[in-house]
Structure formats: structure tokens, C-alpha cells
Structure 1
């Protein structure tokens, strides 16, 4: 796995084209620092906070699903996150997963996050997996598991419907599209999980899956390489 990723890394930063030291990064430290969050953000809606806490005032009232990401999809690093899924270009994956690991460890140090017992990648339907050839969430999960020494599992949660892509759908269409798309097996031995994906946009997929776990009293948090916040939240 490491050799495969290293072979795909360029010897110049993907963003500024300055030389980088292989195999550590496909994005230089300067561009990475500019692309990750520059301020504290709410783990619910993603809005900017003065100081880091779990939720903003609005989210604190309802305690929504916790979403952990190192950066916004809209601010610099988004194209390289998209390239993983849509073009099978993995050059930025090591540095982006490391940025997510750093974010997780920061929140744990602040007492805002408790590490999960297991990492669960968002599954693809078997037909979509055959068509694409890989599941980017699996690849991200494997990297996180190695760096954080947390086991991962690809069993227990299954995608039973091959739904149409979520991109371009309205919120209502997304919810309808994913209704009953996932299934959780009866024998699931964990009480605290992190659900892993590349990007969280409206959160429809994450919420649909989390509802299955929460019915079993399993605590769910979501980890992703980037989140696409609603317009204006980071202003």
C-alpha cells in the first residue's frame, strides 16, 4: 500500500509546483498550511468559532452528528480531494490523511473527542465498486488505522442499493435517494465508531448511516478529508 502511494506522488507540490521531499507529501507544507482551517470551526455545522469547542450555540441545542475534518472543500485543497475519487489520483492522500490525524489528535487533546473503538469506511455497492475499481473511503480508512493504531472493519455495514450519485441532487432528493440504501448486520460488537469518507457535503449519507448505528445505541462520529460547508459559514 505504502509503495503504491509513494509511486504515485510527484516530486513537486501539486499546488505551487515547488520541489517536495518524497515520499512524505504531494503538497508542500506552505500550501497545506494555507489550505487547512485557519480558525476554529463548529463540529456540527462547520461555522467559524472564536475558540474551539464542540459546537456553536445553535448546534449545542440539538447536538448534531460530529464531523471532523482538517479543511474546507471550498478553500484550496478541495480539487485534490476530488481527484482521489474521480480520477484515481492519490498523490495528495498521504498529506491529507496526516492532516486529518493531526486534527483528530488536537480535538482529543482538548477533550472534545474520544477516540473510537473501530473505523468504518462508507461502503460502496458491489456494482459501483466493480465499476470504479476502488473505494476511496477504504483507502483513507486503512491509512488512518495505521497512523492512529485503531482497527478498521469493512464488514457489518453494507450498501444494499446501488443509488444514483448524490452530486447535483437537492437535499430532499438526496434523502430520498439514500432511503434504505444501507444495512447494518445484527452482530455488530462495537459501541463507539468513526465513520470514514472523503468529503461530507450536506451530510445526508453520514446521517443515514448514523441512524442505523444509533438505533443500536452505537455512538457515531464522522471523519473526512474535507467538508463542504454551506455558503457563508466560514466568512
Structure 2
């Protein structure tokens, strides 16, 4: 498919976006059980499918480096090693490996959104806290990681958009969901090593509308090696735009926990 054909397909897809948003909202409501998805105890009528005890058990309990995700004893943006490299900042409320990862994966692969609202709220609280501590600068807009139109038709929703939309509303930040597109229908990243992930996503994204801000937050459900967000960041950097990453969980190297 050439670029013009792709763009027409993407624009045709966006004409159905309102219907998809409604379906996603219904999907979330249907996916929230009246018992905790983890411990199966009754959940208060707060709209969350996970109890506060299980949620808190899965969230970070100590400071973590925004660069590598490693645990730290003091509250700082970067650990000593990352202070030398100043890598991309990744903001997440929890580790993918500490109890909540299976439920986050269920959002994408099983359409089970029980933890989505609770974890998006936890991410919001972490963003606000880090901004108050001056460890991050608030962005001027939010960009959800896009899916290729083929993948989105198959899945029926974009999990990154489901995270980005409520954050945009709560933080009163523009949601730029028509500016960045995925031009290649790449194979899933799961199961690929670092080199294969980089090759898989090389030049997989394009900007189709100008972004007139200097700071953005790239939103995804999970950050593993960071290949996806790095590819997008490099594209934005060429336009003079700085980036940080917001996600529900970070799948850092296990030895860093």
C-alpha cells in the first residue's frame, strides 16, 4: 500500500472513531466485575475491578529510576548510571513483573479491562506527584502510540488511546490522536529480542500533521525494551519536540527490581 492509499484508509477509519469510542466505553463497563480480579473479594461500587489492597500491592512502594526502572533508596529522577546517560523518562505506576502484568496484558489480548480505570488513575497520580517534585516537566500535549489500521480493525480498539483519553481530560491537555500514524503492519513485538524489535519497528511511524508544541507525552500500555517509544521519540526529535513516556506498567529487567 502506498502512502496516499494508507492515508485515505486511515482517514476513512477515523470517520468511524466516534462509534469505536462508544464501543470501547461499553467494553470497559462490561469488563469490570463486582469482585476483585486478583483476590476475588467483593469490590466496593467504585467502578474498579480490582480491590485497593491488591492494587496497592502491585504498585511501586519505593522510588524507581525514570531511566532504567531500577529501585532506588532516594527520590531522584535518575540513578547514578542514568544521570550520565540522561535517557528518555518513562513514568509508570508499577512494574509489569510485580503482580499486575497479567491483568494489563488481558486488556490487549482478552478485552478484559477490569484494571484499566484503576491503573490509569494510579498513573495520573504518579504523574502529578513527579511534577510536584519537579522530576518531570508537564507536557503540552499527549500522543497515544497508534496501531496500524489493519491491527486496529482486528482488535477493535487501541489500548494506548484508552489510557491517553482520560489522562487528557483530567490533565486538560490536548490529545493528538490524528498526528502520528503507523505506516507498517509490523509483527507483534512479544517474543522478539532487542535487535529484532528495532528492525521490526524501523521507520514504522510517520507524522501526517504538524505538531505545534515543544513537549509531549507518548502514551502506551506497557514499555518493555522501549523500542516503540524510542522510534517515535526519534521522529519527534527531528521536529524539535522533546518527549517523555507514560504507561500503565514498565517491564524492566528483573534484576533491577
Q: Does the pair score TM above 0.5? A: yes
Q: Is the 8 A contact 1:196 1:222 kept in 2?
A: yes
Task: Give the equivalent residue in structure 2 for 1:165.
Answer: 188
Alignment correspondent of 2:65: 42
For the residues of structure 2 that align with 1:186 and 1:223, how far apart are their CA atoms?
22
Give how far 1:3 is off: 6.0
Runs of 4+ deviating beyond 4 Å: none
> Which runs of no fewer than 5 residues in structure 2 stay unpaired?
1-21
The superposition leaves residues 119-139 of structure 1 with CA deviations (integer Å, 9 ceiling, x where unpaired) of: 100000111111111110111
Matched with 2:167 is: 144
> How far is the alpha carbon of 1:185 from its aligned partner?
3.0
Query: For each residue in 1:133-176, what CA deviation from the matched residue of structure 2 results, as whole angstroms up to 9, or x when unmatched?
Result: 11101111112112222221111111001111111111111101
Quick one: structure 1 residues 54 and 37, their matched pair in 2 at CA, closer, same or farther if it must change by over 3 Å? same
* Structure-2 change in CA distance of 1:158 and 1:74 (3 Å): same
Q: 2:207 aligns with which of 167, 184, 189?
A: 184
My pick for the range that moved more, 149-158 or 30-39, is 149-158
Moved more, 91-100 or 18-27: 18-27
The question of 1:123 aligning with 2:146 is answered yes
Q: Deviations over 1:212-232 (max 9, x none)?
A: 011111110000000001121
Alignment match, 1:51: 74
Instruction: Indicate whether 1:10 and 2:10 are aligned.
Output: no
Q: Does 1:80 align with 2:80?
A: no
Corresponding residue number in structure 2 for 1:92: 115
Q: Which runs of 5+ in 1 are unaligned?
A: none
Query: What is the CA–CA distance in structure 1 between the aligned matches of 2:178 and 2:209, rounded to whole Å?
Result: 11
State how many pairs are aligned: 234
Give the TM-score of the pair, scaled to structure 1: 0.96
Paired with 2:47 and 2:169, the residues of 1 have a C-alpha distance of 15
Comparing 156-165 with 23-32, which one deviates more in the overlay?
23-32
User: 1:111 and 1:28 mapped to 2: Cα distance?
Assistant: 30
- TM-score, length basis structure 2: 0.88
Is 1:6–1:23's contact at 8 Å kept on the other side of the alignment? no
**Aligned residue number for residue 221 of structure 1:** 244
Q: SS where residue 76 of structure 1 aligns?
A: helix
Q: Tell me the equivalent position of 2:179.
A: 156
Which of 47, 57, 64 is the aligned partner of 2:87?
64
**Aligned partner (choices 207, 218, 232) of residue 255 of structure 2:** 232
Of Structure 1 and Structure 2, the greater helix share is in 2
C-alpha contact 2:97 2:254 (8 A) present in aligned 1: no
| C-alpha distance in 2 between matches for 1:33 and 1:115 | 25
